Chain A
């Protein structure tokens, strides 16, 4: 394999890694604050693509508006799920909200199948994103670059939000101690709703980037990206944003490089990913960037 082709795969892997990373951060953010694995995250991801799809085809919005519309409606969906399914169970044993999350996942998939139909639909990709650049022999699609640029901007904004704003401070306080956070005057319900809003916005963004890359959408499309990103979050150490990003990268790379170098083994990629997960957890049970102590 020539260096050019290798570079091409590398850029591709980075781009896919960012998408997994963004989904994984959605899991890790919510887990960090409320200690709940939001199993419906992959399905919220799926719903985002349909919101954009219908915004564009049904409501005849310009594409950019359909994207904004999709993100906003997805945020409402995510916050709504927390409100009706998770908040009432907040003081219940953790297994209850976990079951609620799994149930919510199935519910969304099945409602989507009834409402949208089970057949695949084509997701519109603006022609400008399918152009291919050739930079010194390396062929790169515009969407690959756009994915990287968008991801970097989102990550910078997210870092700013968490490290430098009051809401971020409230989220970090809530992640270790609910009662003391309340004593600081933090409104727990509002902060958790905000956390779900951010998580859902990340799901929507990553879903749109995903659909631009693989432009077929259907009600179960969130299942595998969801599981892989969840794995990425665990590998990185759930609760850790850097960890989720790193885990996502690792998965993106493994996926792309496997297809590139060992095409005949590509069918085993999920098996390989899970072997990786098991090995990492055996060596470091809290994940690569996980905290030593949990609540």
Chain B
């Protein structure tokens, strides 16, 4: 579904991604793990057209999307839950969710998806008229995921959804990701929480300073000595 080939991205003189290639097959959960500064967010931002790609090719549903405008890329059926959630603090929960459906005009279907998001996150329904900025961190993460789902994406990308959340909430977030996957969404998940991500993933890639150094099935990597040492705390 998504093919990334030889991706090279720079910040000024800094070579942040040094020829990354990977695939996300339809219906799978794929994880990309790596330490701080490895280039995980840069990878997702490049896919979405938020960061200019110097070299390489990104293909989504067999169409080249490299360096296309973000709104066109989103329209083609993918979306990103950005790092740090980035909900709109000045808008209500409902308005945040409706922004997720910004490109859609199918009112009835939007209402259905809103209902679905509300069953996934009952807490959001309770807070629907509250300003996004007044939610707790966990609620904001749920809102960010719910907002992304409102675009009815085929590919959902998440950038460190567990970041800064209490362990209980992290568990809840991972559970929701699994549920969303069962509803038929393809998922590209980025995490520093390697254990949680690898347990969830069908396939995973390990990113180190702008290069993919390892890849394999989720459980394979869980038992890999190198991964255990570097990312799972021995």
Which residues of A does B touch, CB under 8 Å?
166, 169-170, 172-173, 175-177, 179-188
Contact = CB atoms under 8 A, between A and B. Distances in A.
Contacts of A172: 88, 90-91, 95
B48 interface: yes
Contacts of A186: 71, 99, 102
A235 B155 CA distance: 47
B161 interface: no
Contacts, number: 61
A168 B88 CA distance: 14
A94 to B, nearest CB: 19
Given A179-B82, A184-B99, A186-B71, A173 B88 contact: yes
B2 to A, nearest CB: 16
Binding site of B, secondary structure by majority: helix, strand, loop or mixed?
Answer: loop
Contacts of B49: 182
A170 B102 contact: yes
B61 interface: no
A290 to B, nearest CB: 13
Binding site of A, secondary structure by majority: helix, strand, loop or mixed?
Answer: helix
Given A173-B91, A179-B82, A182-B71, 18 more contacts: A166-B102, A169-B91, A169-B98, A169-B99, A172-B88, A172-B95, A173-B99, A176-B89, A177-B86, A177-B88, A179-B50, A182-B70, A183-B48, A183-B79, A185-B102, A186-B99, A187-B71, A188-B71
Interface string B53-78: 00000000000000001110011000
Nearest to A163: B95
Nearest to B48: A183
A180 B90 contact: no
Contact of A184 (B50, B90, B102): B102
B113 to A, nearest CB: 14
A-B pairs with the 7 shortest C-beta distances? A185-B103, A182-B70, A180-B86, A185-B74, A184-B99, A184-B102, A185-B102
Interface in B30-56: 48-50
Contact of B70 (A166, A177, A183): A183
Nearest to B151: A185
* Residue of A166, A180, A183, A187 with most chain B CB atoms under a 10 A cut-off: A183
Contacts of A166: 102
Interface string B87-123: 0111100010011101100000000000000000000
A175 B75 CA distance: 22
Contact of B71 (A177, A180, A185): A185
Contact of B74 (A169, A170, A176, A184): A184
A195 to B, nearest CB: 16
7 contacts: A173-B91, A180-B82, A182-B71, A183-B80, A184-B102, A185-B102, A186-B102
Nearest to A179: B50
A242 B102 CA distance: 26
A202 to B, nearest CB: 22
Nearest to B70: A182
Nearest to A170: B102
A176 B88 contact: yes
A182 B95 CA distance: 16
A170 B75 CA distance: 16
A181 B151 CA distance: 13
Contacts of A170: 102
B152 to A, nearest CB: 12
Contacts of B69: 182, 187
A187 B103 CA distance: 10
